[in-house]
Amino acid sequence: MAIQTLNTIKNWFRTGLKPTQAQFWDTWDSFRHKYEKIPAKDIEGIDELFGDKIIPSGQFLIFKVDPNTANELEIGDSVIGYCEGNFLSEATYYGGDTSLMSSFTNTNNSVGRIISFDYNDPNYGDFIIYELNDEVLQRAYSCGTYNGVTLMSKRPGQLEFSVEYFSASYPKTSVQWLELTPGTIIKLRDTIGDFDDSKEFIIPNEER
């Protein structure tokens, strides 16, 4: 089969014509399938873009994102490079010192946070007070929790987190039946979206 020009292919498919099998095959062979990787040598202008340039650690290739136009790194731009020993393959700049990973980390991408844990409330028993991301709060609310949010726990001696389904009123929810012991690590997880887990919270000792 052979690669054909676009004009040749168009002429095969004019109204009233019946392309042959060979012409169909040549047509498909003239285009790239989406699953095919494009060799770098076939990308026009790549030599002018990268050339033999070596990017030192702490410096980045910067890709401008609308509406940014300045000839320097701006908040929202995408970068490729190394920062604090981590390779950033497609990171967004959120502002701050470019030598710190925190400048490329969206601090508002957490599902929420656990604020406190208390024992033996007269109405709730053991309970937590927690806070959710504003976007999560837009989801449907049923059975005392927002869709997709679950509680994860790792008790002393456990190696992995377990899923703990909880329900009560927001932002205060009972976890009495979970029998969470001091030293247990808990966190919130988003099971249907792209939000990061909340920071880990350690159950304190019960005050007597």
Q: What is the pLDDT of residues 129-159, one digit of tens each?
A: 888 888 888 877 655 456 788 899 999 999 9
Assessment of whether the complete model's pTM goes beyond 0.85: no
Distance CA 149, CA 151 (A): 7
Answer whether CATH 3.30.460 is correct for domain 112-203.
no
Q: Which residues pair with 162 in a beta bridge?
A: 153
Mean pLDDT, residues 89-102 taken together: 81
Q: 25: number of CA atoms within 13 Å, CB side?
A: 5
- Give Cα 128 distance to the centre of its chain: 27
pLDDT at position 67 is: 84
- Between these two residues, 64 and 134, which has the higher pLDDT value? 64
Q: Write the burial class of residue 16 (CB in 10 Å: 0-12 exposed, 13-18 middle, 19+ buried).
A: exposed
pLDDT tens, position by position, 104-114: 876 668 888 88
Q: Can you say whether the dihedral through the CA atoms of 160, 141, 123, 173 is positive or negative?
A: positive
Q: Domain coordinates of the chain in residue numbers?
A: 1-51, 59-103, 112-203
Residue 175's Cβ-count burial label (10 Å; 0-12, 13-18, 19+) is buried
